[in-house]
Amino acid sequence: QSDALKNYHEYEIVDKEISEFINIESDKYFEELIRKNVVTVYHPVGTCKMGKDNMSVVDSRCRVIGFKHLRVVDCSIFPEVQSGNTNAPAIMAGEKASDLIKEDWKLGNGNIPGKYGS
């Protein structure tokens, strides 16, 4: 224990679920403790890839590949976390997608060409 933290020893928290299987003084214990308790403070993005390769979930018009009238329009289509809040980019994506949807309906009453299911 360091001098700076010795007064906080009485407030030590031991995760009984983890400590049942792993020595609480080991690095593995702290790895598991962190894995179990850490959460992100950022808004997740990039979980629904937009593109043309085999890993893509949506195309450039936000259409889910393999489905006919299904789109993903949120920050999950963005490839990287923005440096700021995701509110404005999410609104921008929604505005653009609404234009794309209107265009698709004008072209053929919603009958979408390409590799989409029925």
Active-site residues: which are they?
43
CA-wise closest residue to 69 among 16, 23, 117, 3: 117
Q: How far is CA 19 from CA 15, 22, 28, 39, 66, in A?
A: 6, 5, 10, 21, 46
